[in-house]
Structure 1
Amino acid sequence: MNFPVVEFPWLGNGTVIAIIAIIHVIVSHGVAIGASTLMVSLEYRGMKTNNEKLDGVARKFSKWILIITTTVGAITGVGIWFSTTVIQPDSIGSLLRIFFWAWFAEWIVFITEVVLLIIYFYTWDKFKGAKKVIHNRIGWALVIFSWLTAAIITGILSAKLTPGKWTETLSFWNAFFNPTYMPSLAFRTFIALMLAVALIAFLIKIFIKDKDLQKEVYKVFSFWTAISLPAILITGAWYLANIPQEAYDLVVWSTGMSENMFKIVNLLGLAAFLIFAFWMAKSPKKVPLILSLGVLVASMGFIAEFEMVRESVRKPYIIYNYMYANGTLAKDKEQYKEEGYLANSTFAKVKEVTEENKMEAGRELYKGQCLVCHTVDGWRDKRAFSNRLNGWTEDSIANYITTLHETRYFMPPFMGTDEERKALAHYLYNVVNEENQSTAMEGDQ
Structure 2
Amino acid sequence: MNFPSVDFPWFGNGTVIAAIAIIHVMISHGIAIGMTVLTVSAEYRAMKKKNNELNELAKKMAKWILIITTTMGAMTGVGIWFSTTVLQPDSIGSLLRIFFWAWVVEWIVFITEVVLLIIYYYTWDKCQTIAQRKKHINLGIALALFSWLTMAIITGVLAAKLTPGNWIETKSFWDAFMNPTYLPSLGFRMFLAVMLAITITSFFVRWRLKNKELQSEMLNVFAFWGAISLPGTIITGLWYLKSIPAETYDMIVWSTGMSDTMFQVINGVGLLLLIVFLFWITVKPKTLPWVLSLVVFATSLSFIGEFEMVRESIRKPYIIYDYMYANGLLAEKQDEINEEGYLVNAAWATYDTVDQYTTKAEAGRDIFIGQCLICHTENGWRSSRAMANRVDGWSEESIKTFIPTMHNVRKAMPPFMGTEEELEALAAYLAKITEQENEVAANE
Could you state the TM-score of these two structures normalised by the residue count of structure 2? 0.99
Q: What is the match of residue 336 of structure 1?
A: 337
Alpha-carbon separation, structure 2, partners of 1:339 and 1:314: 28
Q: Secondary structure at the match of 1:409?
A: coil
Alpha-carbon separation, structure 1, partners of 2:441 and 2:246: 41
Q: CA deviation at 1:15?
A: 0.3
Q: Which amino acid letter does the alignment assign opposite residue 290 of structure 2? A: L
Q: CA deviation at 1:210?
A: 0.3
Q: Deviations over 1:166-194 (max 9, x none)?
A: 00000000000000000000000011000
Alpha-carbon separation, structure 2, partners of 1:391 and 1:116: 60
Alpha-carbon separation, structure 2, partners of 1:436 and 1:284: 59
Q: What is the match of residue 326 of structure 1?
A: 327
Q: What is the match of residue 115 of structure 1?
A: 115
Q: Say if 2:19 is the partner of 1:2.
A: no
Q: What is the match of residue 199 of structure 1?
A: 200
Q: What is the match of residue 28 of structure 2?
A: 28
Q: Which amino acid letter does the alignment assign opposite residue 104 of structure 1? A: V
Q: Secondary structure at the match of 2:378?
A: coil
Q: What is the match of residue 377 of structure 1?
A: 379
Q: Which amino acid letter does the alignment assign opposite residue 284 of structure 1? A: P
Q: Say if 2:104 is the partner of 1:99.
A: no
Q: CA deviation at 1:360?
A: 1.2
User: Given that residues 62 and 121 in structure 1 are in contact (C-alpha distance below 8 angstroms), is that contact kept between their aligned partners in structure 2?
Assistant: yes
- Aligned counterpart in structure 1 of residue 394 of structure 2, from 389, 392, 395: 392
Alpha-carbon separation, structure 1, partners of 2:218 and 2:62: 15
Q: Say if 2:243 is the partner of 1:242.
A: yes
Q: CA deviation at 1:356?
A: 3.0
Q: Say if 2:282 is the partner of 1:281.
A: yes
Alpha-carbon separation, structure 2, partners of 1:142 and 1:432: 55
User: Given that residues 23 and 76 in structure 1 are in contact (C-alpha distance below 8 angstroms), is that contact kept between their aligned partners in structure 2?
Assistant: yes
Q: What is the match of residue 414 of structure 2?
A: 412
CA RMSD of aligned residues (A): 0.8
Q: CA deviation at 1:440?
A: 2.8
Q: Deviations over 1:118-164 (max 9, x none)?
A: 00011011111121100010001000000000000000000000000
Q: CA deviation at 1:441?
A: 1.8
Alpha-carbon separation, structure 2, partners of 1:90 and 1:372: 11
- The within-5 A match list for 1:209-224 is 209-224=210-225
Q: CA deviation at 1:386?
A: 1.7
What is the percent sequence identity of the aligned residues?
A: 61
Of 103-112 and 405-414, deviating more is 405-414
Alpha-carbon separation, structure 2, partners of 1:256 and 1:359: 32
- The within-5 A match list for 1:46-85 is 46-85=46-85
Q: Deviations over 1:261-315 (max 9, x none)?
A: 1111101111110110110001000000000000011001100000001000011
Give 5+ residue unaligned stretches, structure 1: none
Q: CA deviation at 1:378?
A: 1.1
Q: CA deviation at 1:4?
A: 1.2
- Aligned counterpart in structure 1 of residue 436 of structure 2, from 422, 431, 434: 434
Of 433-442 and 305-314, deviating more is 433-442
Q: Which amino acid letter does the alignment assign opposite residue 107 of structure 2? A: W
- The within-5 A match list for 1:310-321 is 310-321=311-322
Q: Which amino acid letter does the alignment assign opposite residue 292 of structure 2? A: L
Could you state the TM-score of these two structures normalised by the residue count of structure 1? 0.98
Q: Deviations over 1:381-429 (max 9, x none)?
A: 1111121111000000000001001111221000100110110000000
Q: What is the match of residue 369 of structure 2?
A: 367
Of 401-410 and 162-171, deviating more is 401-410
Q: CA deviation at 1:258?
A: 1.0
Q: CA deviation at 1:357?
A: 3.0
Q: CA deviation at 1:41?
A: 0.5
Q: Secondary structure at the match of 1:8?
A: coil
Q: Secondary structure at the match of 2:319?
A: strand
Alpha-carbon separation, structure 1, partners of 2:59 and 2:410: 53
Q: Secondary structure at the match of 1:347?
A: coil
Q: Deviations over 1:187-229 (max 9, x none)?
A: 0001100000111100001111000111100000000111111
Alpha-carbon separation, structure 2, partners of 1:84 and 1:256: 24
Aligned residue pairs, count = 442
Alpha-carbon separation, structure 2, partners of 1:203 and 1:351: 59
Q: Which amino acid letter does the alignment assign opposite residue 106 of structure 1? A: E
Alpha-carbon separation, structure 1, partners of 2:337 and 2:46: 65
Of 99-108 and 121-130, deviating more is 121-130
Q: CA deviation at 1:246?
A: 0.4
Q: Deviations over 1:221-243 (max 9, x none)?
A: 00011111111111000001000
Q: What is the match of residue 227 of structure 1?
A: 228
- The within-5 A match list for 1:172-187 is 172-187=173-188
Q: Which amino acid letter does the alignment assign opposite residue 346 of structure 1? A: A
